[in-house]
Structure 1
Amino acid sequence: MRGPCVPGYTCTLCRKCLLVKTLASGFWGAALAWSFLCASGAAVAASAPPVFVLNSLEANISVIDPDTWQETSRIPTGKEPHHLYLTPDEKSLIVANALGDTLTFVDPRTAQVQRTVRGIVDPYHLRFTPDMKWLITAANRLNHVDFYRWDGKDPVLVQRVATGRTPSHLWVDSRSSTVYSTMQDSDELVAIDIATQAIKWRTHTGAMPADVYGSADDKLLFVGLTGSDGVEVFDVSGREPRSIKRIKTGNGAHAFRATGDRRHLFVSNRVANTISKIDMQTQEVVATYPAPGGPDCMEVSADGRWIYVSSRWARKLSVIDTVEKKVVRQVNVGKSPHGVWTLLHAPR
């Protein structure tokens, strides 16, 4: 996916403009160039799915054109949309409306609302199991994790697991055997066996754990400590979890997004107004980027160069160039922007 078209950067369209400039000599050359540019622009527009930003306090979604970097529309949702996730067939983007007790299904390519599923209690965060059998949601304000059987149509509630105070973010291992949930108000990490849908273990963490991310081999979990200044690393390869390291990243370490190489991980530091890049093998910070306005959820472009991050307190989507290590664009969105997604993203 191309980056923002700003001075000093060359995008696909800019390279085409060089050809247009060459062709545009005389009337017929100019006409040919204009036809080429229009056709190319149409092709580019057709191939670039939108960037979605959830506006939690406005109950809607900002739809952003990644070619013009303009907000093109707002999609109404239920109350307090916080997180979103793609269905396994990649035909629908599911928006979880926590206070609306609903899921909004949106076409990730056209931004058209497909349907609304009601009766999903307090869906704050959500994950599919890799085997595509289960949709799992965290009820943040009601203290439980729900297991919904998934057949590609409507989710059916099978089990509700009481977890303790304030389940926040979920992670499912690659074998679809365990789902992990952070407990932001009791400072815990909980593991739930997916086969039996019962809690296997719980362990204490640092202050206010938020997002959680697992290494490719399922041996390590990285937990963002929003009430502290870093990421706690747990070894979960044995019968009992072990806290093995604290990585100092910045105050308010919160959300994760993979860089796409299966080794590195971005974490947003909401209070420090930075994003850190972590090497999961060495468990060290290898790069830091400025991210103003309370960075929260992130998306990474398919080529790994651009970070799209919701600036929670500034009502903006910020675009960060990971090569130049600077913010190159900000797009106005709604109140309290949270989840960010686009179909053309780096591998998870």
Structure 2
Amino acid sequence: MLREGLDRRLHLSSAQDLSVNTPLRTLAMLAALSWAALGAAAQAAPIFVLNSLDASVSVVDPVSWKELRRLPTGKEPHHLYMTPDEKSVIVANALGDSLTFIDPRSAEIQRVVRGIVDPYHLRFSPDMKWFVTAGNRLNHVDIYRWDGKDLQLAARVSTGKTPSHVWIDARSTTAYVSMQDSDELVAIDLATQKLKWRVKTGPMPADIYGTADGRTLLVGLTGSDGVEVFDVSGAEPRSVRRIKTGEGAHAFRGAGDRRHVYLSNRVANTISKIDLQKLEVVASYPAPGGPDCMDVIDGGKLLLVTSRWSRKLTVIDTEARKVVRQVSVGKSPHGVWTLDHAAR
């Protein structure tokens, strides 16, 4: 009714003199901007934060920056990933041996898939044919076929100790998996589900990030203070460089510009921005409370990071290089995701 009344008054004013009409035009412009802002707020996709020790997902409103509600999951949800069609966010419940599918727009639970053994970390292949999980406590990697709706186990691959994070190359041919407690990186051929190679890394390798050309992998060394760089363009991998970032180097997230990637340093309480062409740190940001997983809001200005030890979602302004707000969530927040993300 308010908008209808405003529209009616603006229509009646059109025959009046310019001196009266000018303020009304200004009012109309302000009203239009206000309605546009309200529409944008209504359409803003929620932010999902996994509370690993609460077996829940916090749903956060990116406009008010308030926790709206919590969704129940299986035990120990650690990581989450979007389906290729972006119709579902999949939460991997490691101790619950299950996956929880959530609508990324409405934040409603769509379904629960049980019988997925120890899904700690998860990733889809770019061609949408394969779904890979790292069994962190059971020392295996599971490779599933994906038909757009259902998962079918193709193979269970025995690996080293404590598979941690998964990266799949752009051609959807190889899954790279870090072994947290045996200090290794392994490559698995997706078509045959066989190990291609195994290489030693620095202490406690965690997240993995591959360059767009498929030639280089970056591995965060949580037991150290930086990133180990591997050349994987040949038949055998080669460790070619170390990039010093900060103690507890852990998780990556692309900045959205196809040139830079962020890395959380869990012990140092910082985020490093790495130039993928120069393979060096070009910026650093404060991130209190044990920074872990990240996401980047579309546009690249805001960086979301879970503060693992302080039960917070921390929001960093990447231009001002400072923390601009924190949102209280559950115990041991780990994965974070939003549909309104920067380009992957």
Normalised to the residue count of structure 1, the TM-score between the two structures is: 0.90
Q: CA deviation digits over 1:215-257, x for unaligned, max 9?
A: 0000000000000000000000000000000000000000000
Aligned counterparts, 1:15-34, within 5 A? none
Give the distance between the partners of 2:146 and 2:273, measured in 1 at CA.
34
The AA in structure 2 aligned to 1:111 is: A
Give the distance between the partners of 1:272 and 1:214, measured in 2 at CA.
24
Using the TM superposition, give the Cα deviation of residue 45 of structure 1 relative to its aligned residue in structure 2, in angstroms: 2.2
Which has more radius of gyration?
A: 2
* 1:195 pairs with 2:194: no
Using the TM superposition, give the Cα deviation of residue 158 of structure 1 relative to its aligned residue in structure 2, in angstroms: 1.3
Give the distance between the partners of 1:90 and 1:342, measured in 2 at CA.
10
Aligned counterparts, 1:231-270, within 5 A? 231-270=227-266
Q: CA deviation digits over 1:66-90, x for unaligned, max 9?
A: 0100110101100000000000111
The AA in structure 1 aligned to 2:207 is: D
Aligned counterparts, 1:219-234, within 5 A? 219-234=215-230
Gaps of 5+ in 2: 1-20
Q: CA deviation digits over 1:101-152, x for unaligned, max 9?
A: 0000000011010000000000000011111111110000000000111111
Change (3 A) 1:264 1:34: closer
Aligned to 1:330: 326
Aligned partner of 1:128 among 120, 124, 131: 124
Aligned partner of 2:75 among 73, 79, 84: 79
Aligned to 1:116: 112
Aligned to 2:166: 170
The AA in structure 2 aligned to 1:186 is: S
Give the distance between the partners of 1:157 and 1:122, measured in 2 at CA.
13
Aligned to 1:282: 278
Aligned partner of 1:146 among 116, 119, 142: 142
The AA in structure 2 aligned to 1:114 is: Q
Using the TM superposition, give the Cα deviation of residue 344 of structure 1 relative to its aligned residue in structure 2, in angstroms: 1.0
Aligned partner of 1:212 among 208, 212, 226: 208
Aligned to 1:306: 302
Q: CA deviation digits over 1:192-225, x for unaligned, max 9?
A: 0111100000000000000000000000000000
Normalised to the residue count of structure 2, the TM-score between the two structures is: 0.91
Aligned to 2:96: 100
Give the distance between the partners of 2:107 and 2:240, measured in 1 at CA.
43
Gaps of 5+ in 1: 1-24
Q: Over aligned residues, Cα RMSD in angstroms?
A: 1.7
* 1:296 pairs with 2:270: no
Give the distance between the partners of 1:306 and 1:42, measured in 2 at CA.
20
Helix, strand or coil at the partner of 1:146: strand
Using the TM superposition, give the Cα deviation of residue 155 of structure 1 relative to its aligned residue in structure 2, in angstroms: 0.7
Q: CA deviation digits over 1:11-33, x for unaligned, max 9?
A: xxxxxxxxxxxxxx9xx999978
Q: CA deviation digits over 1:287-339, x for unaligned, max 9?
A: 00000000000001111111100000010000001111100000000000000
The AA in structure 1 aligned to 2:324 is: V
Helix, strand or coil at the partner of 2:267: coil
Aligned to 1:11: none
Aligned length: 323
2:52 touches 2:334 (CA, 8 Å); kept in 1?
yes
